[in-house]
């Protein structure tokens, strides 16, 4: 079974969680008897073909696209992506279907669907409606419309949580049975690190300090400012707490200023972007991982922390609500509420027995429910059903025979 994945980012070119998702899924599919073909943008000029871990990766040059803004760049990038995919589809008529990831590849995906008459599947990783708390400007409307269009054009839409399924069906008027829920997974072996844990901890905190770790994009929906608002009340009860903030984004400067203005700048370390091996080490040396998202389709950071056996405190929002059972494998707090978040963090730091039970239960949940082999198995079953429906349908490519033949 050959499958084409269309994604604008793929490791080592990582902007958000989408790259990690597609890579982990493709690797698991390769082990599961599928031939995944990934078409994606090049990174640092490194375009061309590569085969890695059973995944065939085609990177096209997208570094020199003239565009005044990101949506314009994305729409032109789709033309290059469609060209690259056409070459592959022309040589591989046995490709079963096209699997697109988010609005960024929608134009290419829809074009290829109609030219080659291949079933189209889309995974909606997040929605513009949720990322910004509404649609307020033309740029957002463009993205929202592209999301709606690819959902409409797809044979099936995959969402990572029931929360996202509800949102997609509501926003785009999609029939309930056209959307499948397949939760994300986590790669436990990928969380291993060769770094000395004590050395990593000493770089960011004193030996006696308890680490509260945040990792993610510094954007409104991730709620870093909510965490900054929680810091004073955490320090009141736990003066030895140290907050390590990884990642960057348009709210970074605002949050730095909050730390300075509220007088706790010395208790917060902004690391900027960190490599995976450093992130994995910080997961393991942390006492709490905070995930205060206002909007979270799923919550891969929470899964990674659970797999690393670190207690998580999450906002009771979006897909996070479905992952965590209160005080069994994590703590849920009110969304967009700094005082509630501080309560959750203090709850973990104050009760070692609770923290130990959460670690144990979270690890068990990961093994039973959130491995990429399970994700691949469920996705493969969906592919199989689509392929069967396609074979019984009359929507297929027509082979033309010239008059001379």
Residue pair 232/238 in contact (Cβ under 8 Å)? The answer is: no
Q: What percent of the chain has pLDDT over 90?
A: 78
The pLDDT of 143-171, averaged and rounded, is 95
The pLDDT of 286-308, averaged and rounded, is 92
Instruction: Note the pLDDT of residue 65.
Output: 87
Q: Do domains 2-185+372-391 and 189-369 have the same CATH topology?
A: yes
Residues 374-404 have pLDDT tens digits of 999 999 999 999 999 999 998 887 665 555 5
Residues 324-374 have pLDDT tens digits of 999 999 999 999 999 999 999 999 999 999 999 999 999 999 988 899 999
Instruction: Note the pLDDT of residue 405.
Output: 53
Q: Is pLDDT of 161 > 70?
A: yes
Instruction: Round to whole Å and give the CA distance between 127 and 148.
Output: 10
Residues 233-248 have pLDDT tens digits of 999 999 999 999 999 9
- Average pLDDT of the chain to the nearest whole number: 92
The more confident residue out of 68 and 305 is 305
- CB-based contacts of 385, cutoff 8 Å, min separation 6: none
Instruction: Note the pLDDT of residue 203.
Output: 93
CATH number of 189-369: 3.40.50.2000
Residues 300-332 have pLDDT tens digits of 899 999 999 999 999 999 889 999 999 999 999
Residue pair 324/249 in contact (Cβ under 8 Å)? The answer is: no
Helix (H, G, I), strand (E, B), or coil: what is residue 81?
A: helix
Q: Is pLDDT of 107 > 70?
A: yes
Instruction: Note the pLDDT of residue 402.
Output: 52
- Give me the residue spans of the domains in the chain: 2-185+372-391, 189-369
In the CATH hierarchy, which fold is given to the domain comprising 2-185+372-391? Rossmann fold (3.40.50)
Q: Is pLDDT of 63 > 80?
A: yes
The helix-helix angle for 70-91 and 138-153 (nearest 10°) equals 20
Residue with tokens 């997208």: 62
Residue with tokens 């491995």: 371
Phi/psi for 91 (5° steps) reads -95, -15
Instruction: Note the pLDDT of residue 403.
Output: 53
Instruction: Note the pLDDT of residue 43.
Output: 79
Instruction: Note the pLDDT of residue 404.
Output: 58
Q: Is pLDDT of 81 > 70?
A: yes
Paired tokens of 370: 């959130």
Residues 38-54 have pLDDT tens digits of 999 997 778 899 999 99
The more confident residue out of 150 and 299 is 150
Instruction: Round to whole Å and give the CA distance between 201 and 295.
Output: 30
Instruction: Round to whole Å and give the CA distance between 360 and 337.
Output: 28
Residues 82-99 have pLDDT tens digits of 999 999 999 998 999 999
Q: Work out whether the CA dihedral 324, 227, 339, 162 comes out positive or negative.
A: negative
Instruction: Note the pLDDT of residue 129.
Output: 87
Among 12-16, 71-75, 384-388, 399-403, whose mean pLDDT is lowest? 399-403
Paired tokens of 203: 């770089």
The pLDDT of 281-298, averaged and rounded, is 93
Q: Is pLDDT of 188 > 80?
A: no
Burial label, 116 (beta-carbon count in 10 A; 0-12, 13-18, 19+): middle
């Amino acid at each position: 079974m050959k499958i084409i994945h269309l994604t604008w980012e793929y490791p080592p070119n990582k902007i958000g969680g989408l790259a990690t998702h597609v890579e982990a899924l493709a690797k698991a599919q390769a082990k599961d008897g599928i031939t995944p073909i990934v078409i994606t943008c090049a990174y640092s000029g490194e375009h061309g073909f590569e085969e890695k871990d059973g995944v065939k990766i085609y990177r096209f040059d997208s570094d020199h696209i003239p565009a005044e803004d990101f949506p314009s760049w994305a729409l032109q990038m789709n033309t290059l992506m469609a060209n690259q995919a056409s070459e592959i589809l022309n040589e591989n008529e046995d490709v079963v279907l096209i699997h697109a990831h988010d609005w960024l590849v929608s134009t290419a995906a829809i074009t290829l669907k109609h030219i080659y008459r291949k079933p189209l599947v889309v995974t909606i990783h997040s929605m513009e409606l949720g990322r910004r708390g509404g649609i307020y400007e033309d740029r957002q409307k463009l993205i929202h419309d592209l999301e709606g269009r690819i959902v409409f054009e797809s044979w099936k839409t995959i969402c990572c949580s029931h929360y996202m399924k509800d949102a997609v069906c509501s926003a785009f008027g999609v029939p309930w049975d056209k959307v499948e829920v397949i939760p994300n997974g986590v790669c436990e072996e990928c969380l291993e690190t060769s770094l000395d844990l004590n050395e990593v901890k000493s770089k960011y905190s004193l030996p006696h300090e308890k680490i509260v770790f945040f990792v993610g994009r510094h954007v409104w929906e991730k709620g870093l400012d909510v965490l900054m608002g929680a810091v004073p009340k955490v320090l009141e009860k736990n003066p030895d707490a140290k907050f390590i903030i990884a990642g960057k984004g348009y709210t970074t400067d605002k949050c730095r200023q909050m730390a300075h203005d509220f007088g706790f700048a010395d208790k917060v370390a902004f690391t900027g972007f960190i490599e995976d091996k450093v992130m994995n080490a910080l997961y393991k040396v942390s006492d709490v991982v905070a995930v205060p998202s206002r909007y979270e389709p799923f919550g891969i950071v929470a899964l990674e922390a659970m797999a690393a056996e670190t207690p998580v405190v999450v906002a009771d929002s979006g897909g996070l609500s479905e992952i965590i059972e209160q005080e069994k494998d994590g703590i849920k707090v009110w969304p967009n509420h700094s005082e509630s978040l501080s309560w959750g963090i203090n709850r973990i730091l104050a009760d070692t027995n609770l923290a130990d039970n959460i670690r144990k239960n979270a690890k068990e949940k990961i093994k039973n429910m959130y491995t990429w082999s399970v994700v691949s198995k469920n996705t493969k079953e969906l592919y199989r059903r689509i392929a069967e429906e396609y074979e019984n349908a009359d929507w297929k490519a027509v082979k033309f025979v010239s008059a001379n033949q």
